[in-house]
Structure 1
Amino acid sequence: MEAITQLSYALDTFYFLVSGALVMWMAAGFAMLEAGLVRSKNTAEILLKNIALFAIACIMYMVVGYNIMYPGEGVSSVWPGISFLLGGDNTVEEVLASGGETYYSSMSDFFFQVVFVATAMSIVSGAVAERMKLWAFLIFAIFMTGFIYPLQGYWKWGGGFLDGLGFLDFAGSGVVHLCGAAAALAGVLLLGARKGKYGPNGEVHPIPGANLPLATLGTFILWLGWFGFNGGSELKISDIGEANAVALVFVNTNMAAAGGVVAAAITARILFGKTDLTMALNGALAGLVAITAEPLTPTPLLATLIGAIGGVLVVFSIISLDKLRIDDPVGAISVHGVVGMWGLIAVVLSNPDATLGAQLTGLGVILGWTLVASLVVWMVIKVVMGLRVSEEEEYEGVDLAECGLEAYPEFTGAKGSGI
């Protein structure tokens, strides 16, 4: 029995680590997606944001964030308290004495959780692209990954009051995606739109991305990484029941993404008379976000429908935000925020333990906390150092202004050409 326990522990730990590695690969997906959807003169800076935010997330979550989110015993169901740095790992004696309650390494749990934090922060980078100061963004990342995200994560996944209310969020439609979108919305509201995006009479001027093949590659990378995102959130694979559950999570994740693509493509065709590639890409991501709150209890058909509704919603949301003059270059607020809310509500369609009241409460708390806390942090940064590059720097491109180099120097035109 001892040997079986140790083997199961090793298998579940290994599965957790591999799932975390898949989620880490999503950082590459976000980087490629965002690099493809911005103009070439802003490519190097968006790539720098993505690799820097990942590093900041890892450090801040190690220093303080993980212990806020998973304090063991919090001070209360609202406030977990603060402690610093990671503790040790489980000993053989502790695992055997736990009676099966401890079935994976605590360090593997940290690794899996830290890549989720980075995912939430990655959502912000695309929404504020092409006009935010690099270091304003990176300073916000410190507070987002060290404090804002972990506190609302504690309320659900750390055993806080949302968990006690019966709020359900399997892998983070709310805790990760809605949180990231709310932080992005706060930044965009204070930052304003890119120059030339909107006309004086309400006109919306499209600003196409520079590299749609790259954006498509990024979407496929995210789709692949999402199997670790949702599949790893089952936390265990070492018995028949859990193995079957993981397989169903994988299938439902895949089917929701497929439903999102098809629905978004059809919706775009009906509305625009053309099948917009960027809408199809966002449809895939919308389907994935929608199923993340509950990928285990739906049938594959229902998962496809949940993803399809997400695909429709994301198209209408992108159009609506433009009408409101909320400029989001990559559609992150729509994909992760609007569809994240749909994902939380959709849990009631298949999980008998879910109640609409609890889901709406969780939705409102995550949205409200993250939006208000982020607004405060963004406003302080704005007062201290400013959020936005100068009009001339925006015209020249933030690659030159912030990084002193260009991503595609041999392909760009004369300096300041606006390409």
Structure 2
Amino acid sequence: MDIDLSPEDSAFRDEVRAFLATSLPDSVREGAAATPSVFVEPEIGQTWNAVLNAKGWLGYQWPTAHGGTGWSPVQRYIFEKECALAGAPNLTVLSLKLVAPVIYSFGTEAQKAFYLPRILSGEDYWCQGFSEPGSGSDLASLGCRAVRDGDRYVLDGSKIWTTHAHHANRMFCLARTDASGRKQAGISFFLVDMNQPGVSVRPILTTAGDHEVNQVFLEGVTVPADDLVGQEGDGWKIAKFLLENERGGSCHAPKLGYDLEQLERAARSETDGRGDVLADDPQWRRKIARCRLGVQALEMIELKILADIAHGRPPGPQTSLTKLLASNLRQDIDLLAVDLYGPAGLQLTEVRPLYGADAPPPVHSRAAQLAAPRYLNSRAWTIFGGTNEVQANIIAKSVLGL
């Protein structure tokens, strides 16, 4: 596989670098660097989204017909890599990379015209209503019910581990419209207004002290029939499409590589406890090398998937491989940070945010203060988007043919 950039792509990379150098606010970069969770707070993420939207680059994975850039897969990769290297925050994946492709791929013209501009403008902020108590990895067993009542549906049930539901005004939601046949066949996909009676959000604080996820209760919540995406029973097909985007819709390797480089740089000034710096310790260097090789291997797989997409082939089940590898590498790298800072890497303040004038003072350094929260937060990587066990099953059946 030829991974050298063409002159046109090299020029595009230089354009992206120049834009990031002048347009990425320091406050956004610093806020992203001091956020232990996967999702930055809206005050950081939406600020950066607005900058990109003004440039016309926010919907960089979208087709031009729906307000996107129409960039090639290589250009999208370049953009994501340069953003990672510049320390830019993750974009609002739930809105931009999950529900938006569902809407422009399966939605009606009215749904596209209404929702897509509001996602780009930031007027709508979305959360995902998939998992339920007792129905996470086995998503087909979900019990949230949607009953047709004239020109609307009435939803009853609850969703759990709902990221940023306390910030969202919209939720894309799976609910059961038919319980008579196969479990997968009776699921439908809805766009739910969170600002209505019957919707309540209960916070769940993680072991790291972050308020990132929630339980959402739906009691007699109404959804206009016009906000059903596709037909009744299409929910399982749409959810599979969405989960492929969640697992492989982005390139994880550049961000992982960037974080690993930060640890390597910090190790040049951190003591090994024996009078030398940790960067010279053979065992530390072996751990770094093992992670670096993993990141490089992941990048090659992601580039291969991009090449397939460029030739008109869908990402398919191999995205489970990138999700599995990225999750394990994320945890390995965050564990290295705890090792790097020693006792100072064990501090665990519950005050949030860890950026800005009101951030609690760190012991030793801000990076050391983030080590334990990031390590604890990244334990969820092998669970969300489908557990490691689910990914291994998909790889075995659909990729290896076992």
Higher RCO structure (Cα 8 Å, ≥6 apart): 1
- The alignment's TM-score, normalised by the length of structure 1, stands at 0.25
Q: Which has the higher helix share?
A: 1
- The alignment's TM-score, normalised by the length of structure 2, stands at 0.26
Q: Which has the higher strand share?
A: 2
